[in-house]
Structure 1
Amino acid sequence: MSNERFVKACTLSDVPEEGVLGVEVGDTPLAIVRSEGEVYAVSDICSHAEVNLSEGEVDEGTIECWLHGSCFDLGSGKPINPPATKPIPTYNIRIDGDDVLVSLDDTTTS
C-alpha cells in the first residue's frame, strides 16, 4: 500500500484540452497538462532556463519551453531536444470527480 499523500491541485474543468494550467501546491510550482486524453503533473520550471513551462505549448505528449524550445516528455520528464539536458520532476496524479489530486513525492526516475 502506498504512503503517498495526494492534495488537490485544481479542477479538471480548469485544464484546457491539449493545454496546460500553471498552479502552486504549497511552495511547489506545477504544470497540470492535458494531452492526447491523458492528464499529467510536471514541474512548472524548465530544467534549463528556470522559466515557467506552463507558458509553453503542449503537443502530442510533450510540453515545450517557450524561451529556448526544449521539449519534455510529459510521462517521464525527460528532455527530447537541447538545450535542456536534465529531466523535470513528474508527479503522480489521481482524478476524483472534477478534482485533480497530486502527490508531491517527486516520481522522476532518472
Structure 2
Amino acid sequence: MSTETWVDALSADDLPTDDVTGVIVAGRDIAIYTVGSQVYATDNLCTHGHARLCDGFLDGHEIECPLHQGKFDVRSGQPACDPVTEPLRSYPVKIDGQRVYVRLAALSP
C-alpha cells in the first residue's frame, strides 16, 4: 500500500513563466513546468540519458532533453519522440495560497 502526501515544493512567485525549473522535493529531483496557467511536475531525470530536464527546452507541453533531443509530454510523462521510450513519473500539483505542492507517493524500500 502506498501513502501519498502533498509536499511543499516552492513559492508560487518562483514558478517560471512558460518554462521549467528544477527543485528538490522530499529528496527527489523534480521538474516543475508552467504552460500558460497550468502547472505540471515530473521526475527531473530523463529516462533515456539521465540528463536533467530542467536544463532542456520546453515547447508547449513537451520538454526536450538537453542530451539527446528526446521529448516527453509534461502533462503525463509519456514519451513524445525517439529515442525515449520509457515514460517519466508525473505528479499531481496544486497551488494553495502562495505555495506550490506536489503529491508524492512513498517510495518502496
Give the TM-score taking structure 1 as reference length: 0.88
1:92 aligned onto 2:95:
no
| RMSD of aligned Cα (Å) | 1.4
Identity between Structure 1 and Structure 2 (%): 38
Shift of 1:4: 3.1
Aligned to 1:67: 67
Conserved in 2, the CA contact under 8 Å of 1:36 and 1:61? no
Aligned to 1:52: 52
What secondary structure sits across from 1:51 in the alignment? coil
- State the number of aligned residues: 104
What secondary structure sits across from 1:13 in the alignment? helix
Structure of higher RCO (CA pairs closer than 8 Å, 6+ residues apart): 2
Flag structure 2 segments of 5+ consecutive residues without an equivalent: none
Conserved in 1, the CA contact under 8 Å of 2:42 and 2:77? yes
Flag structure 1 segments of 5+ consecutive residues without an equivalent: none
Q: C-alpha distance in 2, partners of 1:64/1:12? A: 24
Conserved in 2, the CA contact under 8 Å of 1:70 and 1:81? yes
Give the TM-score taking structure 2 as reference length: 0.89
Residue identity in the other structure for 2:7: V
Runs of 4+ in 1 over 3 A off after TM superposition: none
